[in-house]
Amino acid sequence: MPDCTVVIITFNDAERVPRAVRSVLRQTLRDIEVIVVDDASTDGTARVISAFERADPRVRYLRRERNSGGCGAPRNDGIDAASAPYIMFLDSDDELPRHACKSLLTEIERTGTDFVSGQISRYYEPSGRLERYYPRLFARRRIVNGIAEDPELFLDSFSTNKLYDVTFLRRNALRFPEDIHYEDHVFATELYATSRRFAVVPWVIYHWHRAAEHTSISLSIKEMDNVRHRMIAAQRSDKILRDHGREDLLPERQHRFLRQDLRVYLNPLPARDLVWVKEFAAVVRPYLATIPHEVIDRIEPMARVCCHLIIDDRIDDLRVAVRSLTGAAAPPRAAIRHEGRTYWGTTLTPGMDITRLRLAELPFSAARLRHEVTEIAADAGRIAMTVHTYDPFGALPTEWSAFLTYGGHRFPIHPHPSGDGYVSEIVFTPEGKGDPRIGFTREHDGHTTTDRLLVDPNLEPIPLNGYTVQAAGSSAFLRVTAPSVRRRLAGKIKREVLSRVSTPAMKLRVYKALIKVVPRRKDLALFESDCGKGYTGSPRAIYEELRRRELPIGVVWSVARGRKNFPEDAGLVRRMSWRYIWIMARAGIWVDSHGLPLDYPKPRGTRYLQTWHGQGIKSIGFDAPDLRADFAGPRDQWRAAVARWDALIAPSAEFTRVFVPSNGYTGPLLRYGTPRCDALVRGEPVPRVWEELELPPGKKILLYAPTYRDTAKNSGKSVRVDLEAMAEELADDWVMILRTHPVERYHVPQHVRHFVRPAGSYPEINDLMLASDALLTDYSSVMCDYAVTGRPMLFYIDDWDQYRLAERGVYHDLPSIAPGPCLTSTEDVITCLRALPAVHTSFSEKYAAFRELWCADERGNASARVVQDFFAVPLEQPVTDRSVVWGTR
């Protein structure tokens, strides 16, 4: 008896079924049975599988006499023919990862469960991209004691990502329906209804192939029979739960239908014609009308609106509403505000309540306008279009100006009032790829809001000047795509030529040659903060002190991309450009907060001031994850980079104790405090914060500044609190400034933008600290700077053990020294903020100790003293003894 049977079903798929069979035969579980059930194919499938059967005794071929028209009958044949105690199902156009069978067999034998379910991944053949399907369902390995314990698993209605106990299937007479498509939905419902114990594993055990040229049953959603079959499957699934006495699960399964099944048809509905939409609504309405309103009310607001429009047979309104579901997520044409609630459309109907989206409460820069292109055509090498703009939430002020933005340019436009909005006649020439947007600028403060343009989803692509103007996405917004192949090829050749001339290796060779022959200018300084990302930090504070003293030193600032907050008269150079290489070689002074290009040796005669960018509990230098491994290359590179420093700003004795040995630094230290903290000591708020972030008057401001996770950079996973829950509970009294770390990528959801002001790109964090009433952070070094203000701090450390033991690592036990509560749930954060004065007072002793540890030297004159020692009175001889500490005289 084999350990496992894998049933592969196929029909006229001779080209791809070999891939599926090979994926089973290559399994690390060798004692396996492969049953290929052929649903009466008329191509070469029989010949292909017969060859496998002759070559490998593990393969068995079953052929049905007549085609069943679906997947249920051949799968049932496989159940009947299986000789192993466990069974899996595989479609002929998909495949199994190499360890799928063995890992699932091990799990089902270990747990003794009825079946094991694993992660399924969609494999997009054109790009080779793998995308996990509902990964949160499989986030952890666990045993589930019945579906009621985790009803969200109704979303996992696949039959192919599971290993089943054959005895369990046969004992409960579990069979696939043979007269409908979506038989797996019905089968999965009965599986969940009868199973009392099953397992879930987090690894991928099934690759669901998506080929551009292949249309499967699940992708034939434009066919009305496809809709009918899915409705029948939903009705039968509900009946199964009733027949098994599990009416308590009906709301959860129906919730799954609304979240997943219905959305399959609603998302692409903008591209359907009126006749199709009417018929679709007629097919769906009878079942939808049986779902209780409280179940419909659980889904996201715009999907709920669509459900009620279907039930009420408001087809024209439905076609408007569905364009708010995906892509551009367009706002409504009209909305009503009543007693603090917001309603879609022009009637106060409970089902039309969209308050949860908070669209009417957004700051102006995030306000939503709906722009619909009513006419578009090519005219004399240009695009001419008529656009109707709707302002459903009354966001536009009395004084404004408007423009079309596209390809990095702005073109003024002149919308004129027309009925329920504004109409614009716009003409533009395609000059680059992207999505044109219409923007409105508020005259009194310069804030701007922009939105994409909706077009006819069936717009025929318009080729023009080598570009193509067309509809994009399910919601169909205007897009201009790349130029012709010839232009792209010319651009590629140009980029390749430039890349060969301007390689990093070439620049380094030129630099090393330059520093041997070019004399240094003692009155020229190269300044860089955060690898050129902005005009900020201690380099900024030192620069401003230099200007105040009018010292005869010319400063050039390194800029990585664009300019952020730099003074108009500041000299700028693009980081790693050829001019940057020249200035590095020429400058007699380097000032930096992170690390100038690591492989570039410091020229003889140049003095390098390292300001560093923070202090705190996190491991640093050779103790940090990227250097703690025993690899000589990176460690030697950093050791050489540190050896370039002629002086290091040391803001505290604790910094000296930890940072200096962790980085192998042996040069002099400047112990005057932190130049960038001088502004915090002075405590003078900067008014522009309120203007730029549109902070509402009369509300308290919470600065949320989490640090990144080394194993999840650019993932947004550092934002760990529940922003929606905080908005719901605190938005009446608080507004949050979210300052993510520069290496993070996080997009604030629109429905919390009334509460959260994203400030990841705001140029100066000092401004944010001075504007705030309290800080929420985790392990970020911002805690040490913020302590200078004396204001309340809260610490959200739900992953403390993971962070200190497996992630970054720490030098201090944060819960023991934190000057505020260490919290592990959003509910606790909310509770503490509601009682903040009392909470802050209760930590007064710890706060004082924390400030003594990190901020004892912060007196507000660090910039002046650093400039005095390093610039105004430079050392004649280098100091190499680390015991010599400047600032302790």
DSSP codes, 337-391: EETTEEEETTS--GGGB-GGG-GGG--GGG---EEEEEEEEEETTEEEEEEEEE-
* 721, 724, 784, 803 from 797: Cα distances, Å: 10, 18, 16, 9
The candidate with the shortest Cα–Cα distance to 677, out of 785, 593, 767, 539, is 785
**Whole-number Å distance between alpha carbons of 14 and 36:** 12
pLDDT for 42: 95
Which residue bears the tokens 């009194």?
444
Residue 728: its H or E element: helix 723-730
Structure tokens at 221: 């959603």
- Across 794-821, b (16+ Cβ under 10 Å) vs e yields bbbbbbbeebbeebbbbbbebeeebbbb
Q: Which residue has the tokens 């097919």?
A: 283
| Stated length of the chain | 889
Q: Scanning the structure block, which residue is given the tokens 């029909």? A: 11
**Three-state DSSP class for residue 809:** coil
For residues 7 and 37, give the distance between their C-alpha atoms in angstroms, rounded to a whole number.
Answer: 7
Task: Note the pLDDT of residue 327.
Answer: 81
Return the structure tokens found at 435: 């999505």
CA–CA distance, 686 with 763 (Å, rounded to integer)? 13
DSSP state of 673: -
Please give the pLDDT value at position 117. Answer: 98
β-sheet bridge partners, residue 428: 383
**391: nearest Cα among 413, 418, 353:** 418
- Who's near 436: CB < 8 A, 6+ residues apart? 404, 405, 406, 428, 452, 453, 478, 480
State residue 873's pLDDT score: 54
Distance CA 250, CA 238 (A): 6
Per-residue pLDDT at 492? 64
Residue in the block written with tokens 């939430």: 393
131 CB neighbour count, 10 Å cutoff: 11
Q: Could you count the other beta carbons within 10 Å of the beta carbon of residue 842?
A: 13
Strand duo 335-338 + 341-344: pairing: antiparallel
Cβ-based neighbours of 289, under 8 Å, separated by 6 or more: 311
Is 319 in a helix, a strand, or coil?
A: helix
Question: Which residues does 440 contact at the CB level (< 8 Å), separation at least 6?
Answer: 369, 396, 400, 401, 402, 448, 449, 450
Residue-level pLDDT at 175: 96
**Hey, what are 654's tokens?**
């604790």
Q: Which residues, other chains included, contact 670 with Cβ-Cβ below 8 Å and sequence gap of 6+?
A: 647, 648, 649, 650, 865, 866, 869, 870, 886, 887
pLDDT recorded at residue 490? 58
Helices vs. strands in the chain: H and E counts, helices first: 31, 36
Written as six digits, the tokens of 431 are 């000059």
Measure the CA–CA gap between 484 and 871, rounded to whole angstroms: 55
Distance CA 85, CA 87 (A): 7
Residue ranges of the chain with per-residue pLDDT less than 50: 874-889
Of 887, 863, 842, the closest CA to residue 681 belongs to 863
In 787-823, alpha helices (H) = 800-805, 814-817
Residue 546 corresponds to which tokens in the numbers above? 């230099």
d(Cα 538, Cα 593) in Å, to the nearest integer? 7
| Contact present, 644 and 601 (Cβ < 8 Å) | yes
